[in-house]
Amino acid sequence: MTQVEDLRTKARFLFDAAVAAADPARAVQRGFAQSPLPPQQPGGRTILIAVGKAAPAMLGEALKAIPDADVALAVTHHENDATLQGAELLRAGHPVPDEAGARAAQRVIDVVSKATEKDRIVALISGGGSALLPAPPPGVSLTDKARLNDLLLSAGLDIVQMNLVRQQVSLLKGGGLARLAAPAPVYAYLLSDVIGDDLRAIASGPTVSPIGTAEDAVKLLKSSDIWDATPASIRSHLEQARHAVPDRLPPTQNTLVGSNRLSLEAMAKEAHQNGLTPRIVNDSLTGDVSDAARHVLTEMTAKGEPTALLFGGETTVKLTGTGRGGRNQELALRIAMAAPALADQWVFLSGGTDGRDGPTDAAGGLVDRGTLPRIKAAGADAEALLANNDSHAALAAGGDLLMTRATGTNVADVQVLLIAP
């Protein structure tokens, strides 16, 4: 095995360690230990609702602790092929909402809205839940919501900004689930895919107060130059909602059970066990992917010992082309194209812990200083493909796609830069 092959193998080990640290079952165990559920009231029901990319695993673990739950319902994405005994498992579209998601949202609404003060609702929430449960208000169609989602993604907004708007065009987001469940108490356990772990932004906050108001959403859409392109039904809804007094959120217990930072710490431990000196450089690598690439590139200097530089976050890509890719693939490609000619060997990995990067079959990219020559040898033009936001095609040509199956969890993205003298 060559040195670069060894580094690539170790980079994948570190990525796998990040995913393992975000294991949904262990997260639920931590949550129940940290914030135990109160006893079920006589004559009351226990209703388990799991939503997100980690929903099946989280619900499966919860059922071990509460095997006699009266209702057990999970909603996850189509690519999650997990099975779940003793529960209703629904799948929906992500990142773009679909009709299956609309039906799943209605099912959740039907279940929680029938709860009484004697019941208890246990909500298990993970990343991806925002798109999986599209519940548009009256007068807004699913097509209009999908169009809004496309506009938010293409505008390069970060996850908090996108969720600020999404919450204002939903019956479930921004505390909507908790409001529909009242008077039943809600106990929520959240696996964070949001950098900084703002509970309002995880799955658009179905059990917490909204990030902002309808007025804030209108201002953001206008400042991002997508207000005029926003469907008329949504603009009308937001204009009316600007003058309404928001409902007060019922009392809800929210417990954070997993995060990106925990995964970075697990990567550092794995790096040390593999003979590397680890350092968490940045646990909030956010903003435009080109800026993130420049930040990573400043760390690409010669090292006196095998080193693992670790990053975590969630960047954004402003789409200008028609190609296919994702923020992790584009970040990896940008690093490969701009990396300095070190005497040292280096490998860079950027991947989504959910196993999926954008609307592609890849989790991200794994590149080294041989990436560009391989792309060129395959007859592809890396610069032209990047200009067209076609990072998937470029990395595929170089054999540098990071391929995993859906992991069943999601704590945003992680990056690994390995440098060996």
The yes-or-no verdict on residue 377 having pLDDT over 80 is yes
pTM, two decimal places: 0.79
Q: pLDDT tens across 148-185, in order? A: 988 998 898 887 898 899 899 999 999 999 999 999 99
- 24-258: CATH number: 3.40.50.10180
Distances (CA, A) of 270 to 22, 152, 279, 365, 399: 14, 36, 12, 20, 25
Angle, CA of 199, 237 and 200, to the nearest 5°: 0
**The pLDDT value given to residue 380:** 97
State the amino acid at position 312 in one-letter form.
Answer: G
Looking at residue 361, what is its pLDDT?
A: 93
Domains 3-19+261-420 and 24-258 share a fold: no
pLDDT given at position 15: 98
Architecture of domain 3-19+261-420: 3-Layer(aba) Sandwich (3.40)
pLDDT at 246 over 80: no
Give me the pLDDT at residue 341, please: 86
Listed residue (182, 179, 172) closest to 129, CA to CA = 172
- Residue 336: pLDDT over 90: yes
Taking the C-alpha atoms of residue 381 and residue 376, their distance in angstroms, rounded to an integer, is 6
Q: pLDDT of 28-45, one tens digit each?
A: 999 999 999 999 999 999
Tell me the average pLDDT across 138-145. Answer: 94
Whether 395 shows a pLDDT value over 80: the answer reads: yes
Hey, where are the domains in the chain? 3-19+261-420, 24-258
